[in-house]
């Protein structure tokens, strides 16, 4: 009984268990029209007189008619369902870049919902067989890496794909949404320089994804333009605090000692800031730190960490939009680039902004 409100108007509770919502034929009967006309009126298809269309819509609204998705799906061969794979690689299921991914998924979910689509969270799919049972109309692959098994799996069963950032294994594929990483990296580096940095080091990950690769490349290019030697180091994905500390110590022994660090991920940035505090180095006075991705952790660190906000919600929404257009067969603008913004915080400016 706590599952309350089983009143008369409850749309489910058929004796046979089938949901007893209003069907199109009920609307047709009530409006004195044919099913096909009701269908056309609702979907805006075919030729229906504006007057009758309005009448039908009114009746439909009054009756609370909601089309049965399953019937519609069968007829139109569309599931009304998009998939998103947040992480292909992690076996244990932990998803890296937690904050980014959750915001990405949230943005995509809302965008899909607005389009009357469901966004389903797919576990790491590796084979076509796995993918064949749950066939979405299209799929978004986040965090795609070189030779991604998920891409292959969905390609084989013919499911349209949009990736977050370009697929490093298919550089000519244009159906992706992402950031202008080279520009963003430069923006970050410029910001560090503008706050007084002379020697900027780069700490990235060993990911084979495009974001990571392009960031590192942009960093080197930026250094080359200025005739300075790049100082780029890589932190293994499975970094522990200890490893990171070691890498950092090495970095600080260089001559001249870097006075700024561009940390690709929030996780690296937070660890770096912690370690620097431990080594009695002042942030930002001695060393400035900037994170290549923003989120809770960067914002909440002490000192708070300046970061590039990649606007993952917008990326997710754009991915859904592009995917929908790909499914429709529309030939729209692509790739879609979401402009990032720089959130300057204490780790570079030395005071709380805002």
User: Site residues (CB under 7 A) for DNA?
Assistant: 18-19, 21, 23-25, 32-37, 39-40, 42-43, 45-53, 65, 67-68, 71-72, 74-77
158 binds, among its own copies, DNA, none (CB under 5 to 8 A by kind): its own copies
Residue 26: exposed, middle, or buried by beta-carbon count in 10 A (0-12, 13-18, 19+)? middle
The minimum distance between CB 55 and its own copies, in angstroms, equals 21
Residue placing its CB nearer to its own copies in the complex, 200 or 264: 264
The minimum distance between CB 8 and DNA, in angstroms, equals 19
179 binds, among DNA, its own copies, none (CB under 5 to 8 A by kind): none
The answer to whether the Cα torsion of 229, 348, 311, 99 is positive or negative is positive
35 binds, among its own copies, DNA, none (CB under 5 to 8 A by kind): DNA
The minimum distance between CB 225 and its own copies, in angstroms, equals 32
52 binds, among DNA, its own copies, none (CB under 5 to 8 A by kind): DNA
d(CA 343, CA 320): 26
d(CA 31, CA 117): 28
Residue placing its CB nearer to its own copies in the complex, 225 or 352: 352
Pairing type for strands 176-179 and 161-164 reads parallel
Residue placing its CB nearer to its own copies in the complex, 169 or 230: 169
Residue placing its CB nearer to its own copies in the complex, 82 or 200: 82
The minimum distance between CB 22 and DNA, in angstroms, equals 7
- Long-range contacts of 235-241, Cβ-Cβ distance < 8 Å, separation of 24 or more: 235/203, 235/204, 235/205, 235/206, 235/268, 236/205, 236/206, 237/96, 237/205, 237/206, 237/207, 239/267, 239/268, 239/271, 241/271, 241/274, 241/275
The minimum distance between CB 224 and its own copies, in angstroms, equals 31
Residue placing its CB nearer to its own copies in the complex, 83 or 258: 83
The minimum distance between CB 6 and DNA, in angstroms, equals 19
The minimum distance between CB 163 and its own copies, in angstroms, equals 11
43 binds, among DNA, its own copies, none (CB under 5 to 8 A by kind): DNA
196 binds, among DNA, its own copies, none (CB under 5 to 8 A by kind): none
Dihedral in degrees, nearest 10, Cα atoms 183, 186, 191, 197:
180
The minimum distance between CB 192 and DNA, in angstroms, equals 55
Residue placing its CB nearer to its own copies in the complex, 93 or 256: 93
47 binds, among its own copies, DNA, none (CB under 5 to 8 A by kind): DNA
95 binds, among its own copies, DNA, none (CB under 5 to 8 A by kind): its own copies
Residue placing its CB nearer to its own copies in the complex, 44 or 50: 44
């Amino acid at each position: 009984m706590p599952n309350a409100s089983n009143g008369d108007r409850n749309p489910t509770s058929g004796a046979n268990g089938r949901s007893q919502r209003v069907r199109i034929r009920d609307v047709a009967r009530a409006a004195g029209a044919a099913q096909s006309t009701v269908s056309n009126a609702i979907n805006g298809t075919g030729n229906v007189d504006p007057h009758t269309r309005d009448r039908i819509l009114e009746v439909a609204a009054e009756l609370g008619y909601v089309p049965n998705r399953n019937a519609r799906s069968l007829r139109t061969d569309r599931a009304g369902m998009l998939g998103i794979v947040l992480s292909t690689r992690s076996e244990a299921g932990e998803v890296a870049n937690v904050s980014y991914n959750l915001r990405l998924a949230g943005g995509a979910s809302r965008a899909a919902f607005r389009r009357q689509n469901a966004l389903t969270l797919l576990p790491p799919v590796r084979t076509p067989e796995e993918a064949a049972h749950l066939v979405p109309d299209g799929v978004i692959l986040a965090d795609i890496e070189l030779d991604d098994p998920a891409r292959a799996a969905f390609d084989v069963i013919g499911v349209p794909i949009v990736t977050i950032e370009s697929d490093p294994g298919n550089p000519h594929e244009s159906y992706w949404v992402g950031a202008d990483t080279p520009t963003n990296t430069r923006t970050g580096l410029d910001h560090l320089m503008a706050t007084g940095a002379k020697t900027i080091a780069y700490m990235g990950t060993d990911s084979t994804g495009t974001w990571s690769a392009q960031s590192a490349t942009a960093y080197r290019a930026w250094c080359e333009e200025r005739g300075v030697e790049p100082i780029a180091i890589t932190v293994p994905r499975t970094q522990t605090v200890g490893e990171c500390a070691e890498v950092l110590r090495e970095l600080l022994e260089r001559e001249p000692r870097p006075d700024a660090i561009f940390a690709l991920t929030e996780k690296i940035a937070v660890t770096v800031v912690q370690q620097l505090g431990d080594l009695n180095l002042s942030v930002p006075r001695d060393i400035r730190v900037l994170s290549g991705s923003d989120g809770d952790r960067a914002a909440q660190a002490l000192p708070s960490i300046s970061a590039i906000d990649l606007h993952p919600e917008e990326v997710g929404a754009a991915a859904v939009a592009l995917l929908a257009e790909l499914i429709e067969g529309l030939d729209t603008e692509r790739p879609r680039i979401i402009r990032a913004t720089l959130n300057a915080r204490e780790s570079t400016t030395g005071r709380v902004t805002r």
